[in-house]
Amino acid sequence: MTVAEACKVFEECKQSDLPVVDSGEFKGVLFKNQLQGFDKDKIKLEKLQDQFRSISVLQETRMVSALKLMVNKGVGFLPVIDHTDEMIGVLSSVHLWNEFASRSSLLGNGSWIIVSMLHKDYSLSKLAHLVESHQLMIVMHFVQFYQGTDSIDVHLKVNRENVNELIQSIQRYGYTVTGVIQPKKYIDDWEDKFEELMRFFST
């Protein structure tokens, strides 16, 4: 394949990075911007092999590790290979995100409550006690940090949709509830943020 043919594939796929495969063997990842400055009609891709980036995952790689690699390397796709470097398939950021969401508690019944506070005021045990006092359960949680500030957002997924009384209790303890979101809307919001992040890394 010539550089010109590769450029055409990039345009058709609307991607900034693609895996290079030779007779089923994974050779590396090529970025569109690496093709600039070459005689596109004469140069073949094999002449650029030293520029291919070795970015891939094995079949047994955990989803979280694959997501981290994708973000750290700034790629929209991850080639999946076996231990002989034979290419098995390709994972996209959308496929990974959807799989992660479906296998976790993100999409289950309940509500997401976002509680804002200072880092020094964070106590998961206190929040858990408040939730459990209403005969509810925290099924998932994470903390969102904001660079350069002491503020954090604690995202709590609880196993009930009607959480009005719980919100009142949380606020009585001096915390600020900044959002109550149903799972589908919560996932859509984070998927938009994830896709925006991947577009940023791919430019």
pLDDT one-digit tens code per residue, 98-144: 776 666 556 667 888 999 999 999 999 999 999 999 999 998 888 98
Given a contact cutoff of 8 angstroms between Cβ atoms, the answer to whether 38 and 47 are in contact is no
Q: How confident is the model at residue 202 (pLDDT cuts 50, 70, 90)?
A: very low
The yes-or-no answer to whether 3-100 and 111-181 have a common fold is: no
Our measurement of the distance from residue 181's CA atom to the centroid of its chain's CA atoms, rounded to an integer in Å, reads 20
Helix (H, G, I), strand (E, B) or coil at 32: helix
The ranges assigned to domains in the chain are 3-100, 111-181
| Fold classified for 111-181 | Alpha-Beta Plaits (3.30.70)
Six token digits for residue 189: 């919001």
Strand 57-58 and strand 17-22: pairing?
unpaired
User: How far is the C-alpha of 194 from the C-alpha of 94, rounded, in Å?
Assistant: 9
pLDDT digits (tens, 9 = 90+) for 28-60: 888 777 777 666 667 777 777 777 888 888 988
User: How far is the C-alpha of 87 from the C-alpha of 85, rounded, in Å?
Assistant: 6
What is the DSSP code string of 56-109? -EETT--HHHHHHHHHHHT-SEEEEE-TT-BEEEEEEHHHHHHHHHHHSSTTSS
Class of domain 3-100: alpha beta
The arrangement of strands across the sheet holding 57-58 comes to 57-58, 77-81, 87-92
pLDDT digits (tens, 9 = 90+) for 147-167: 889 999 999 989 888 899 999
Which residue bears the tokens 């296998």?
A: 103
